[in-house]
């Protein structure tokens, strides 16, 4: 929290005091934590918000809260499990026919501390954090390409700084399984995805960010020891969401190049000094190829 408090002294409040009526935002993992805080702030500013959540009951409570607190009725709910690639494809195909989209916020994530496989045989963290983010984004790129001032923001983590991209074991099948390190590897992959997308799609502004360590349900459940030690100095959900909001609504964000990694409204390096975490370009290209192969495998060919 201290880092946020000192950084925020230099923020320009006017950056986020904007009216986004008529613009459409999609937030994944929007029923709690940073996702919900972001969705609520966008709703306050008049945006149309699509909440993409896995749990129907919790999602309905979150939607109700956002509508009540902001008075904004343009809040829509979509129930999608981001660890299920077929569901994402199906959702994206339907969404493109029915809605427009200006800003995609990839916030859904998970940190599962044991190696669990989804019904598709995918390791759960990889399925949600990496493949789910990849499919949601690539499936919606055609819709974003049609929009004015289109943006994609992915919520990563500073934990990725300890990981070098490893494409040899994307599903963590060899060696002992450490959920925290798997999560950090997925978050490194999200940084690489963002950089690659920024090169490929010049009409869309891509960014990836570290929210700082915030007091969210996800941190409490997946990192209980860390939470107990740090709970008095964690950021609030709103502080964690601040840079997501800034990247989503401010005019300042898009003055900076596409593909950067942000913390507290500033671009920051994606590698620590002297760290051996840089990967060769061919590894980064290989990651994109492998994810594309995976994603196509789950894309059902709808008749007509």
Give every strand in the sheet of 150-155, ordered side by side. 75-79, 48-53, 24-28, 103-106, 150-155, 204-209, 260-263, 266-267
For residue 129, count other CB atoms closer than 10 A to its CB.
28
Q: Active-site residue numbers?
A: 183
Residue 160 neighbours by CB under 8 Å, 6+ apart? 184, 185, 187, 188, 190, 191, 270
Phi, psi of 65 (to 5 degrees): -65, -45
Rounded to the nearest 10 degrees, the angle between the axes of helix 133-145 and helix 85-98 is 20
Nearest CA-CA partner of 260 in 191, 204, 201, 162:
191
Side-chain-side CA neighbours of 121 within 13 Å: the count stands at 3
CA torsion 210-238-57-26 (nearest 10°) is: -60
């Amino acid at each position: 929290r201290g880092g946020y408090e000192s950084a925020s002294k230099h923020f320009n409040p006017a950056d986020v005091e904007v009216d986004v009526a008529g613009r459409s935002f999609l937030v994944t993992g929007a029923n709690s934590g940073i996702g919900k805080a972001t969705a609520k702030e966008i709703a306050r500013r008049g945006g149309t918000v699509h909440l993409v959540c896995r749990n129907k009951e919790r999602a309905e409570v979150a939607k109700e809260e956002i509508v009540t607190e902001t008075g904004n009725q343009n809040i829509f709910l979509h129930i999608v499990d981001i660890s299920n690639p077929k569901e994402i494809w199906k959702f994206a195909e339907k969404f493109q026919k029915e809605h427009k989209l200006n800003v995609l916020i990839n916030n859904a994530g998970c940190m599962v501390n044991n190696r669990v496989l989804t019904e598709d045989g995918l390791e759960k963290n990889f399925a949600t954090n990496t493949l789910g983010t990849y499919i949601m984004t690539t499936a919606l790129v055609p819709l974003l390409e049609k929009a004015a001032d289109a943006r994609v923001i992915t919520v990563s983590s500073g934990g990725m700084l300890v990981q070098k991209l490893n494409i040899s074991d994307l599903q963590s099948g060899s060696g002992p399984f450490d959920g925290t390190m798997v999560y950090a590897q997925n978050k490194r992959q999200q940084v690489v995805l963002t950089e690659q997308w920024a090169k490929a799609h010049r009409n869309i502004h891509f960014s990836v960010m570290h929210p700082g360590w915030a007091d969210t349900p996800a941190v409490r459940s997946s990192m209980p020891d860390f939470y107990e030690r740090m709970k008095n100095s964690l950021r609030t959900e709103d502080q964690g969401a601040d840079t997501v909001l800034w990247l989503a609504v401010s005019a300042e964000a898009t003055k900076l190049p596409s593909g950067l990694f942000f913390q507290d409204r500033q671009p920051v390096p994606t590698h620590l000094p002297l760290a051996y975490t840089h990967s060769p370009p061919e590894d980064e290209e290989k990651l994109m190829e492998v994810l594309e192969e995976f994603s196509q495998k789950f894309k059902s060919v709808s008749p007509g």
